[in-house]
Structure 1
Amino acid sequence: MENEVEEGSDSEWSELTRECLINILSRLTVDDLWRGTMLVCKSWFSAFKEPSLHSVFNLDPLFDSPRELPRWWSPEFEAKIDSMLRSVVQWTHIFLTQIRIRHCSDRSLALVAERCPNLEVLSIRSCPHVTDDSISRIAVNCPKLRELDISYCYDVTHKSLALIGRNCPNLKVLKRNLMNWLDPSQHVGIVPDEYLNACPQDGDTEAAAIARSMPHLEWLEIRFSKLSAKGLNLICQRCPNLEFLDLSGCANLTSRDIANASSSLAHLKDIKKPNFYIPRSVFHTERYGHWQLYDERFQTDVFRI
């Protein structure tokens, strides 16, 4: 009898209308959607192929871990992420509007640029093998982009920022955060050393590209950027609609620099300033100079004993 009930239940599930199945599948997480729903039966597989179910591809929740894992930075893991992204793009084509992923490469992003003209959100944090090659293709082929996160993508340069700005007039959100170069200990043993050492140095060049090509920005994150007061002034002058500005870790800026530059931002609602409390153990005097110089530079008493 129990077997009959179970068989009957399976039959009832398989006989749900396509509309009902799509409604059910739309409530699942990406992980649940891709790991088994298409294997239930033919009708479920057919419903799974509905393009509207895949307009958003978000793997960020899978990376919600207290610490990064070394395997995330391995070639094998990158190949797996690339394979997943290519599969999604091949299924959805023009319906894909949001991608939030990490550790992909130019290989999969080139396909995104080719197949996803309606892309509006692209978040590709921590991608050591994403370069100007794929981002330039995104800029040319995805003009509807309104949000871009290229944080910790060190092979993406100011050239791509300028192209994105010129070709994506709807861009309102840019996240271009760098890793904590003031205290890299949190990344040691996880992120490859050569990548840590590749941290972009041209903060003002990137600031100029942002300022000159992205006048409609409302949200800008440039944590641990090495821009100076000159670069910040340019951004604040050319991006008057900024409502949120994150300058955490921007050690080349003083409080006075930030106050002077941001005073022109009439719409600014929130600004994250650098945290000038930096433990003395972080600095090696032979590299950064005497700690008293930082007291004078940052106008803080943190370093005084």
Structure 2
Amino acid sequence: MEERKWEELQTDCLVNILKRVGIESLLLDVPLVCKTWYNATHNPLCWSNLIFPDLDPRRRLVGRIFYEQQLNGVRTAESHANAFFATFSWKFGGFSPSAFIRFVVKRSGGSATSLVVPPQCTEEDLKYIANECPALKFLELPSEILIQHQHEVSKLIRKWKKLEILSLHSLPDMGNIFSQINRHCKRFIGLSIEHGVFIGSDEVSAIVNFLPNIKYLSIRGAIISRENLLRILKGCKELVLLDATDCVGFVKDVEILKHAAHICCFKCEDSRQWDELPLQIRDEGTKD
């Protein structure tokens, strides 16, 4: 039986595969396989999942880009590399995260449905992303973005009317952000909060008041008091999944299980009390 060649793979099948390989491979590996694959990387559907890594110069991706640029003069046959590096803005011989972000976002042609924002994203980059990625369903924001650009984020939420799931690495200004989601994102169903984040009374009020109908909530590894967990259980009646595994601030008891009875999948294994935390953090938590 004759073996089929990879370059003969149908375009729709190829695109379905390539959209899963990640930004680094789409830029630096896939185009080198053959002309067919190189052409496929220009299909916007390959860029529907924009999972940006950290663009710090010490990280793997930026280091590899510099390495590939150095080889570019040697591997002259790879003409696509010339166009690739010429597209970037190289300032004083350095890497420009903004140019890289915009280059990748432009490749998506408005088809991006998932986006993990890199910490180096500027306010202007956020505005560019909001305008160029109107179809987002999943959005992940690192702490750096939420702390430095929290007000801009809350203003841009209205651009993502199809947003369904939001993943946050910290919780500043949640009242404004969640109120915008409540107003503009009618398909919103899920919230994920990063491991180790403190969830106090203000944050819980924002969740209960503005996201009462969410179906999926992950607070895995968060710091949250028993009282605030109960407020979520009582205030979010549409939950079908609540992952409170490995949290600090409560242990499972009869009352918690009673109020979680309506949730199809409730997880709180390995959660523990405040007394296992340093005194300073415990004191902050009891202020709620």
Deviation at 1:124, TM superposition (A): 2.9
Letter in 2 for 1:143: K
Map of 1:209 onto structure 2:
206
Q: Assess if the C-alpha contact under 8 Å between 1:178 and 1:222 holds in 2.
A: yes
Aligned length: 240
Map of 1:161 onto structure 2:
178
Map of 2:139 onto structure 1:
122
Q: Matches of 1:214 and 1:287 in 2, distance apart?
A: 27
Map of 1:87 onto structure 2:
103
Q: Matches of 2:57 and 2:26 in 1, distance apart?
A: 27
Pair 93,25 (structure 1): closer, same or farther in 2 beyond 3 Å: closer
Map of 1:271 onto structure 2:
267
Superposed CA deviations along residues 132-156 of structure 1, whole A, max 9, x for unmatched, are 23421442110111111012x3545
Pair 231,22 (structure 1): closer, same or farther in 2 beyond 3 Å: same
Residue 221 (str. 1) matches residue 218 (str. 2): yes
Superposed CA deviations along residues 87-146 of structure 1, whole A, max 9, x for unmatched, are 222222321111135434343332221221111011234545553234214421101111
Map of 2:149 onto structure 1:
131
Q: Assess if the C-alpha contact under 8 Å between 1:130 and 1:155 holds in 2.
A: no
Return 137-146 or 36-45, whichever deviates more.
36-45
Residue 231 (str. 1) matches residue 228 (str. 2): yes
Map of 1:103 onto structure 2:
119
Letter in 1 for 2:184: N
TM-score (norm 2): 0.65
Q: Matches of 1:250 and 1:70 in 2, distance apart?
A: 34
Q: Matches of 2:206 and 2:153 in 1, distance apart?
A: 15
**Structure 2: stretches of 5+ with no match in the other structure:** 64-94, 284-288
Task: State the identity as a percent.
Answer: 20
Map of 2:17 onto structure 1:
27
Letter in 2 for 1:221: S
Q: Matches of 2:224 and 2:272 in 1, distance apart?
A: 16
Letter in 1 for 2:43: E
TM-score (norm 1): 0.62
Q: Matches of 2:232 and 2:273 in 1, distance apart?
A: 25
Pair 217,44 (structure 1): closer, same or farther in 2 beyond 3 Å: same
Q: Matches of 1:133 and 1:217 in 2, distance apart?
A: 23
Deviation at 1:158, TM superposition (A): 3.3
Superposed CA deviations along residues 147-205 of structure 1, whole A, max 9, x for unmatched, are 11012x3545332133223321222210122537xxxxxxxxxxxxxxxxxxx5x6111
Q: Assess if the C-alpha contact under 8 Å between 2:221 and 2:245 holds in 1.
A: yes
Q: Matches of 1:212 and 1:279 in 2, distance apart?
A: 30
Q: Assess if the C-alpha contact under 8 Å between 1:241 and 1:268 holds in 2.
A: no
Q: Assess if the C-alpha contact under 8 Å between 2:249 and 2:271 holds in 1.
A: no
Pair 155,93 (structure 1): closer, same or farther in 2 beyond 3 Å: farther
Pair 241,104 (structure 1): closer, same or farther in 2 beyond 3 Å: farther
Residue 52 (str. 1) matches residue 52 (str. 2): no
**1:242 counterpart SS class:** coil
